[in-house]
Amino acid sequence: MTIQQIYDLGIKLGIENDPRGKKRVEQLLEKAKKEYKELSEKQKKYFDKETLSNPYSDSRILFGDPKKEIKKIFAGIDADTPEILLVDRLNQKGKEIDLLISHHPNGPALASLHDVMDLQTESYAKVGVPINVMDSLMSERQSIVMRRIHPSNHSAPVDAARLLDIPLMALHTIWDNIGDHFMAEYLNKKEFETVGEILDYLMEIPEYQEAKKGKNGPEIVSGGPKSKVGKIAVFFTGGTNPSKEAYVELAKAGVGTLIDMHIPEDGLNELKKMHVNVINAGHMASDSIGANFFLDELEKNGIEVISGGGLIRVKRNKK
């Protein structure tokens, strides 16, 4: 596969696993195309045309020739300058890695992280938060996230990749969509009375077993093992956490148990006050789930995968 083919496969799987549904995502892409046509020449100059075919602003080829044929990749959760140096060092030792794929983005894919957060508005609406409320809260939160990332030096790792000539790709929301879809389907297969039962069921997933061995397994951070479950909500995708006000809305919408990768302290405090149970499934392990399904697809296509950088590699391919 070429870099372009790997990237295109990412977009395809990202859309197929999108919590908004494929049809809705295609609708949004059509809308973007229409809006682009209406822009002035001056506005078009800085418009990122990738957004017309890739609905995920945080998933991009950051460096490298798209036509390059790939035989071996290094896949990790983060790809900052240390990981790029690591790949270069591994290549010095004869590993012949052709491409570094990270989950967490850098460069323009990080600078536009706030754009993918739109997705959450619809995910929250699905569990009963009025869409107008969530839309308003999310716009506010998106501005904060944008301003938080804006001053950071997010292009330095991309510079390192360029200087060391290591092709670099970030697949953020794409992998998170895959993980989110898996988790929603997985939980749907069973009925739960207590939060402890959910935790036990999560512990059947090999990524969480590995994480627990590393003292980083899923934890109940609000409620307890005997707490009644009520309505379950899972949010594994959409850029980053919403504001604490969004968590209040979740409680008001009748969610009884929230399963998240990680949750900010202020949001958690609100949920505790509203008696909503929360399971922190764990950041790296949960990110690894989405990654692993994608990496299995690459292996099916004959690509060798070296994992590192916090990624817990579990293969589900049948040999």
- For Fe ion, the binding residues (CB under 5 A) are 176, 287
Q: Least distance from C-beta 303 to Fe ion, angstroms?
A: 21
Asked if 241 and 141 touch (Cβ cutoff 8 Å), the reply is no
Buried b (16+ CB within 10 A) or exposed e, 155-177: eebbebbbebebbbbbbbbbbbb
Integer Cα distance of 167 and 200 in angstroms:
40
Q: Nearer Cβ to Fe ion, position 98 or 287?
A: 287
Q: Least distance from C-beta 46 to Fe ion, angstroms?
A: 28
Q: Are strands 72-76 and 304-308 parallel, antiparallel or unpaired?
A: parallel
Q: Least distance from C-beta 103 to Fe ion, angstroms?
A: 6
Q: Nearer Cβ to Fe ion, position 98 or 180?
A: 180
Give Cα 141 distance to the centre of its chain.
Answer: 17
Q: What CA dihedral angle connects 85, 88, 92 and 98, to 10 degrees?
A: 160
Q: Least distance from C-beta 283 to Fe ion, angstroms?
A: 6
Q: Least distance from C-beta 287 to Fe ion, angstroms?
A: 4
Q: Nearer Cβ to Fe ion, position 173 or 222?
A: 173
Q: Nearer Cβ to Fe ion, position 51 or 177?
A: 177
Integer Cα distance of 208 and 217 in angstroms:
6
Q: Nearer Cβ to Fe ion, position 174 or 253?
A: 174
Q: Least distance from C-beta 263 to Fe ion, angstroms?
A: 13
Q: Nearer Cβ to Fe ion, position 277 or 288?
A: 288
Integer Cα distance of 240 and 233 in angstroms:
16
Sheet holding 219-222, edge to edge: 219-222, 277-280, 255-260, 231-235
Sign, CA torsion 263/247/189/118: negative
- Distance between start and end Cα atoms, the chain: 20
